[in-house]
Chains A and B, each alone.
Chain A
């Protein structure tokens, strides 16, 4: 099983450019998440989707939009990238909302110049 797959692995953007980070899971999980990881700050939740067709803001949603395209796919879009969005982005999924672990992809390293 591939688990959670993220594309691309690396990306460099100029300020103001837009891009979409893709995430797909093959575990038939209901919930999907986008986190960002910055040095010394752990992981912070950007958006999540508890089920197909629903999305909600997390801790740091400003500057981002998401789409739960179907049960497998959850994309994160930066409409106008800013240097403060330079980070490593992780997608995660889990089976249900109570006491089940998160399964992570290997991340997308994004640099905004």
Chain B
């Protein structure tokens, strides 16, 4: 079963615009992670936000987490053509010494030059 569901499934924007992707999850989590996947490549970790944090920044990335609504958002500001990729959220849940990380189905972002 998927932990996260991203919205929208696909997003097309002009270079320079901001891109916002949303993630909803089902069960309580210890952290929420965002990954990027370029076509034909593995996933690359972008940012991790812990369950006791509400907002986190990294360069042009801003992530928010609302545990009461079981939702997170990823904002990419001033998008570039190189940001074209699929973006996945993943929930980390601690369980008996192991942290299970379950991925959503992803948002495909296209940034048009």
A contacts, CB < 8 Å to B: 4, 35, 40-45, 48, 50, 56, 59, 90, 92, 97-99, 101-107
Contact = CB atoms under 8 A, between A and B. Distances in A.
Given A43-B88, A97-B97, A103 B45 contact: yes
Contacts of B45: 101-103
Interface in B84-106: 88, 90, 92, 94, 97-106
A99 B42 contact: no
Contacts of A101: 33, 45, 48
- Residue of B31, B40, B42 with most chain A CB atoms under a 10 A cut-off: B42
B76 to A, nearest CB: 18
A69 B94 CA distance: 25
Contacts of B92: 99
- Residue of A4, A50, A98, A107 with most chain B CB atoms under a 10 A cut-off: A98
A4 B105 CA distance: 23
Interface of B: 1-2, 4, 30-31, 33, 35, 40-45, 48, 50, 88, 90, 92, 94, 97-106
Secondary structure at the B interface, as helix, strand, loop or mixed, is: strand
A56 to B, nearest CB: 7
Nearest to A103: B45
A45 B102 contact: yes
A90 B50 CA distance: 25
A2 to B, nearest CB: 13
B105 A40 contact: yes
A106 B42 CA distance: 4
Contact of A102 (B40, B50, B101): B101
B97 A107 contact: no
B2 A99 contact: no
- Residue of B2, B43, B44 with most chain A CB atoms under a 10 A cut-off: B43
A40 to B, nearest CB: 6
B43 A99 contact: no
Nearest to A41: B105
B42 A97 contact: no
Contacts of A48: 98
